[in-house]
């Protein structure tokens, strides 16, 4: 990374380094708001975030930046591959930023902070009516932003929304993938449930499982995976998430003292996210090319750890003695085989974050369809609870008895993240494909996991995914890592082997 500092490209590097630092500060403020900020501080925090977001927008959308972007085209032949990719990502960020004005950025930031705080109170009360006015404002502002970006990018508004989270992904492709999954998964679920009904049911470990003990064993496994607590934290929040920065990793989970399995898998999932951030190329820190390659790739890293690895027989054979010790467990409930039956149990569940990997894509398809209808105007926000319940019944075969377990369960819409949900299932597909490629490339990966050694796996991920940051577009990254374009087939093959083999 050695561009001439006075060149147009060199000046852009300086600008984006500052923007990266502001973005890191914003991330920490968001983490604090979701974990320990007093509820009465939300208006002030909204002002702080709006000021930082507006400042970033003004910097990237300035006339000077436009001139540097234009001038850098004349320097393209003097850039190396990493610099050229960095310039491509700078231009992508610039196009998104210049599509909306600063006033809209400020208004969206304040509206989403307000709506999120109302949602935190409304969710446990199952009070959709309480959050509806704030959500209406969030959706209206999201539509304005999407329309502005669509005009700039030459895209459909929903495609412009998805491009913020999964660059290059379009609804036409997602529709095809989701149609294939929606056609095949219900039948596979029926077969799996029929097999489970005739098999010996798992024995439920008896609690309570104190939150402190869950946290202790969770941190043990985090360190096993490679999480460094001198540069990161584990906290609790209403909705588990991973945030912070590559050098200051912040993850959260939530605990149920009657069931340790959900909190633990939440920790492992978010650790997958955090270690992806940690593994991004340090020499390109705070440059666009050094960032994560979209939320679909980000989700592939968390789901690879949670679903592919940590529900495998190899990991559970290693983990079981540690779980027994943490919770003073004894007897047939505390065998690797029994825990494997628990961790690979399929059920028609209401809550997405607790869903098994076979029903999970249907939860995502439901949200994808509903948010597209909301953005297009085909579904009125006031009708969202009923539409949610109908879709749950049609896709998964059950319906919630309250909005708390229905349309209020996820934070994303109330935080303004429309176009985000497809990344979860695209990530699950990529996770299956990447893990398959990793095991083929290095046959020692599974035996090492059985010994609690994740170094071979993370060596492969570092060399084939993490270390590239945004150097390659997503389709090229997946093809380079796995030898083939992203496909539904490896994911379905994985499900068939684990549940129907």
Could you give the CA distance from residue 145 to residue 371 in angstroms, rounded to a whole number?
A: 15
Predicted local distance difference test score (pLDDT) of residue 5: 73
Predicted local distance difference test score (pLDDT) of residue 6: 82
CB neighbours of 354 closer than 8 A, spacing ≥ 6? Answer: 262
CB neighbours of 463 closer than 8 A, spacing ≥ 6? Answer: none
What tokens appear for 26 in the block? 């914003």
Query: In the chain, what's the furthest Cα-to-Cα distance?
Result: 72
DSSP state of 247: T
Could you give the CA distance from residue 352 to residue 359 in angstroms, rounded to a whole number?
A: 9
pLDDT of 319-332, one tens digit each? 999 999 999 999 99
Mean pLDDT over 419-423 rounds to 96
Q: Mark out the alpha helices in 38-127 (DSSP H runs).
A: 42-60, 63-72, 81-98, 102-125
Whether the pLDDT of residue 1 is over 60: the answer is no
Could you give the CA distance from residue 185 to residue 309 in angstroms, rounded to a whole number?
A: 21
The DSSP bridge partners found for residue 253 are 236
pLDDT of 481-500, one tens digit each? 999 999 999 999 999 999 99
Phi, psi of 493 (to 5 degrees): -60, -45
Predicted local distance difference test score (pLDDT) of residue 3: 61
Could you give the CA distance from residue 12 to residue 83 in angstroms, rounded to a whole number?
A: 11
Point out the residues that are catalytic.
270
Could you give the CA distance from residue 481 to residue 394 in angstroms, rounded to a whole number?
A: 37
What tokens appear for 363 in the block? 């939860």
Whether the pLDDT of residue 123 is over 70: the answer is yes
Predicted local distance difference test score (pLDDT) of residue 264: 94
Whether the pLDDT of residue 268 is over 90: the answer is yes
pLDDT of 239-252, one tens digit each? 789 999 999 999 99
Burial 140-170 (b: 16+ CB within 10 A, else e): ebbbbbbebbbeebebbbbbbbbbbbbbebe
Predicted local distance difference test score (pLDDT) of residue 39: 85
CA neighbor of 454 nearest in space, from 274, 221, 246, 277: 221
Q: How many CA atoms lie within 13 A of 194 on its CB side?
A: 7
Predicted local distance difference test score (pLDDT) of residue 2: 54
pTM, two decimals, is 0.92
Mean pLDDT over 152-160 rounds to 94
Q: Name the residue with tokens 């290095």.
A: 442
Mean pLDDT over 216-234 rounds to 96
Predicted local distance difference test score (pLDDT) of residue 238: 79
Predicted local distance difference test score (pLDDT) of residue 265: 92
Predicted local distance difference test score (pLDDT) of residue 149: 94
Per-chain mean pLDDT for the chain: 95
**Cα 316 from chain centroid (whole Å):** 24
Q: At what angle do helices 422-441 and 171-198 cross, to 10 degrees?
A: 70
CA neighbor of 274 nearest in space, from 232, 311, 307: 232
Predicted local distance difference test score (pLDDT) of residue 354: 84
Whether the pLDDT of residue 42 is over 90: the answer is no
| Local confidence band at 76 (pLDDT 50, 70, 90 cut-offs) | confident
| Local confidence band at 4 (pLDDT 50, 70, 90 cut-offs) | confident
């Amino acid at each position: 990374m050695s561009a001439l500092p006075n060149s147009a490209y060199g000046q852009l590097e300086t600008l984006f380094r500052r923007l990266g630092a502001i973005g890191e500060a914003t991330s920490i403020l968001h983490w604090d708001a979701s974990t320990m900020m007093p509820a009465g501080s939300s208006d002030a925090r909204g002002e702080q975030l709006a000021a930082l977001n507006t400042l970033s927008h003004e910097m990237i959308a300035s006339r000077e930046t436009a001139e540097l972007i234009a001038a850098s085209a004349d320097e393209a032949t003097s850039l190396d591959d990493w610099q050229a990719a960095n310039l491509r990502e700078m231009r992508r960020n610039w196009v998104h930023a210049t599509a909306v004005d600063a006033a809209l950025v400020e208004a969206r930031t304040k509206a989403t902070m307000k709506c999120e705080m109302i949602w935190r109170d409304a969710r446990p009360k199952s009070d959709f009516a309480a959050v509806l006015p704030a959500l209406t404002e969030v959706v209206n502002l999201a539509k304005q932003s999407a329309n502005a970006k669509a005009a700039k990018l030459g895209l459909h508004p929903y495609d412009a929304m998805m491009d913020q989270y999964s660059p290059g992904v379009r609804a036409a492709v997602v529709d095809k993938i989701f149609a294939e999954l929606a056609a095949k998964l219900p039948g596979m679920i029926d077969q799996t449930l029929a097999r489970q009904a005739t098999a010996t049911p798992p024995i439920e470990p008896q609690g309570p499982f104190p939150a402190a003990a869950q946290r202790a064993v969770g941190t043990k496994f985090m360190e096993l995976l490679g999480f460094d607590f001198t540069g990161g934290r584990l906290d609790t929040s209403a909705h588990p998430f991973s945030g912070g920065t590559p050098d200051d990793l912040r993850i959260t989970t939530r605990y149920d003292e009657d069931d340790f399995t959900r909190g633990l898998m939440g920790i492992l999932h978010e650790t997958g996210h955090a270690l992806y951030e940690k593994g991004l190329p340090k020499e390109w820190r705070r440059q666009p090319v050094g960032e994560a390659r979209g939320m679909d790739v980000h989700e592939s890293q968390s789901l690879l750890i949670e679903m592919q690895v940590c529900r495998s027989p190899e990991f559970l054979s290693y983990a079981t003695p540690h779980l027994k010790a943490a919770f003073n467990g004894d007897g047939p409930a505390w065998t690797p085989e029994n825990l494997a039956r628990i961790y690979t149990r399929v059920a028609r569940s209401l809550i997405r974050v607790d869903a098994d990997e076979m029903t999970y894509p249907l939860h995502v398809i439901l949200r994808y369809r509903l948010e597209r209808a909301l953005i297009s105007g085909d579904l009125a926000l006031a009708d969202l609870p009923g539409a949610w319940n109908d879709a749950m019944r049609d896709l998964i075969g059950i319906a919630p008895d309250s909005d708390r377990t229905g349309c209020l369960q996820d934070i994303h819409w109330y935080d303004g993240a429309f176009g985000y949900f497809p990344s979860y299932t695209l990530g699950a597909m990529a996770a299956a494909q990447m893990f398959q490629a990793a095991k083929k490339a290095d046959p020692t990966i599974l035996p090492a996991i059985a010994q609690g050694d994740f170094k071979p796996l993370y060596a492969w991920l570092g060399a084939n995914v993490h270390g590239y940051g945004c150097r390659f577009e997503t389709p090229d990254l997946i093809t380079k890592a796995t030898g083939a374009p992203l496909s539904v087939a490896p994911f379905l093959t994985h499900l068939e082997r684990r549940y129907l083999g």
